Amino acid sequence: MKYLVDSHCHLVDERFDFDKEDIIDNFEKDQILFVVNPGDTLQSSKDAVELASRFEKVYAAVGIHPHEAKDYDDDMEKELCKLIEEQDKIVAIGEIGLDYYYDHSPRDIQKQVFRRQLDLAVKYDLPVIIHSRDAIQDTYDILAEYSDRIVAVMHSYSGSYEMAKRFMDLGFYISISGTVTFKNARVVKEVAKQLPLDRLLIETDSPYLTPEPYRGKRNEPKYVRYVAEKISELKDIANSKVVEATKNNAKRFFRISIED
Ligand code: NI
């Protein structure tokens, strides 16, 4: 099997406090080429950048999650800008977007903060990692305003294939997570089956969304292989094709040139 890329994992999460160095040291053995660790708060963004500075195969994204939108202000934005201007290995803005399932921040604030961070992506010419839950139409409408200036990936995509097509028409990518392995995930399976290989990324969103056969345990980047395997099974193509395509897509999307 060739190298895998986990396009979205949270190694700075406290559930990795005791062993993240070991996990990263095992990337070679586990055939992980690189991972991208997005931020969701200012602190986790800083932590992601710090981790990326220490490990070659870890890249960072910085951004404030819609849950935390209510805390976003000018000072926080200045700190994000400072990180982007001063630190290497920041390959994207994210994860940012809208979450109407939890509604931890008021929706008008979520939209405002989403737009402000999309402005940062334009300013610094960075791709964007999108979180969207129960908010697909508003997410689409806002992203469509920016589509001539940014490229985005819909992280752990859970919408319909029709909607995925509309995002792809904007030039965006779709990322499939371990949910595709869940027995009752009919829609995600259908989307994975139909998605063109050249727009597909794969991810774990670890420590969350652990795929079968490890569902219920802590997720880890190495389990991204089960996402690739399930997609190849659904598409009825060789697993190596999915692995190769998603690796090349991730390198192109994040503009990472790393030898494999
Ligand atoms: Ni995430």
Query: pLDDT tier at 260 (50, 70, 90 boundaries)?
Result: confident
Give the distance (Å) from ligand 1 centre to CA of residue 152.
15
Give the distance (Å) from ligand 1 centre to CA of residue 177.
10
Average pLDDT, rounded, for the chain:
97
Q: What is the model's pLDDT at position 228?
A: 98
Give the distance (Å) from ligand 1 centre to CA of residue 9.
6
Query: pLDDT tier at 63 (50, 70, 90 boundaries)?
Result: very high
Residue tagged 């990324």 (tokens) = 201
% of the chain beyond a pLDDT of 90: 98
Give the distance (Å) from ligand 1 centre to CA of residue 16.
14
pLDDT score of 149 more than 90 = yes
Q: Any idea of the CA torsion for 59, 75, 140, 253, to the nearest 10 degrees?
A: -20
Give the distance (Å) from ligand 1 centre to CA of residue 37.
8
Give the distance (Å) from ligand 1 centre to CA of residue 8.
6
Give the distance (Å) from ligand 1 centre to CA of residue 198.
22
Q: What is the model's pLDDT at position 1?
A: 55
Q: What is the mean pLDDT of residues 188-211?
A: 98
pTM value surpassing 0.85: yes
% of the chain beyond a pLDDT of 70: 99
Question: Tell me: the pLDDT tens digits for 14-29?
Answer: 999 999 999 999 999 9
pLDDT score of 176 more than 80 = yes
Question: Tell me: the pLDDT tens digits for 76-128?
Answer: 999 999 999 999 999 999 999 999 999 999 999 999 999 999 999 999 999 99
Give the distance (Å) from ligand 1 centre to CA of residue 95.
7
Give the distance (Å) from ligand 1 centre to CA of residue 209.
10
Query: pLDDT tier at 259 (50, 70, 90 boundaries)?
Result: confident
Q: What is the model's pLDDT at position 142?
A: 98
Q: What is the mean pLDDT of residues 42-61?
A: 98
Q: Any idea of the CA torsion for 116, 70, 10, 120, to the nearest 10 degrees?
A: 10
